[in-house]
Homo-oligomer: A and B are copies of this chain.
Amino acid sequence: MIQPRPRTIPEATVARLAVYLRVLTSFADGGRTTVSSGELASAAGVNPAGLRKDLSHLGSCGVRGVGYEVRALRERIARVLGAERSRACVLVGIGNLGTALADYAGFGSRGFRFTGLFDAAPERIGQRIGGLAVQPMAELEETVAGTAVAIGVIATPAEVAQQVCDRLCAAGVRSILNFAPVTLTPPPGVDVRQVDLSVELQVLAFLGQQRAVPAGEVSA
């Protein structure tokens, strides 16, 4: 079974594929059977040509003159992204944000399930969130090894995020999503994605102030 197409999909494309998947699911729920690249691109907020190029990375199966069949395209993207199989995740740090993440129904519908919630505070141990009981940190390694955890999510205070990262990596986790406002330095071979809410706000604020004062009064 030869793969004539290049098997390296750019990361930016992968992120957009996830968006297309969401839009396609919404279209399928709405009863649509086919979509053109223009409609899909508009719904996803991207350029039509870029969307077609993204889809071409997975050997696209659109029909010229008609468009794409919604269900077939959705299945294909889901297969490429690996979204058809369920992936086990653990969440460390059950504060406000952690609780929100553990309760978020959107993860389950996209193939992610938490198999462990961990916190260092004794008063949180045993608390049930989204059908799962919060466990003490001491049980982290055992759970990771026992449930073949694919992704670790860090929602702890910044001070302990690095050592949590170290423990997760040592336990075998190779993908980490970090919400703590620190730059993690993972061991080689581990992917880390950083979501920093303050950075997002600051970029927005900068763009806004740049728009307000296009003359550029930085007054350095």
Residues of chain A at the chain B interface (Cβ within 8 Å): 1, 3, 7, 9, 11, 14-15, 18-19, 21-23, 43-45, 58-59, 76, 79-83, 87, 89, 95-97, 99-101, 103-104, 106-107, 110-112, 150-151, 174-177, 181-185, 189, 191, 193, 195-209, 211, 216-220
Contact = CB atoms under 8 A, between A and B. Distances in A.
B110 A201 contact: yes
A195 B200 contact: yes
B207 A15 contact: no
Nearest to A112: B201
Nearest to A103: B96
A189 to B, nearest CB: 8
Contacts of A206: 9, 14, 80-82
| Number of this chain's copies in the complex | 2
B209 A76 contact: no
Contact of A76 (B183, B207, B220): B220
Contacts of A202: 14, 18, 21, 81, 83, 110-111
A211 B174 contact: yes
Contacts of A189: 211
Nearest to A11: B203
B14 A183 contact: no
B80 A218 contact: yes
Nearest to A211: B174
Contacts of A196: 18-19
A106 to B, nearest CB: 5
Given A45-B183, A208-B175, A19 B199 contact: yes
A108 to B, nearest CB: 10
B200 A177 contact: yes
A96 B218 CA distance: 38
B197 A101 contact: yes
Given A183-B45, A197-B106, A208-B150, A18 B76 contact: no
Interface-centre pick from A76, A196, A201 (highest chain B CB count, 10 A): A201
17 contacts: A3-B218, A7-B218, A18-B196, A19-B199, A21-B202, A45-B183, A45-B184, A80-B206, A81-B205, A89-B201, A96-B96, A101-B197, A107-B197, A112-B201, A151-B201, A177-B204, A193-B200
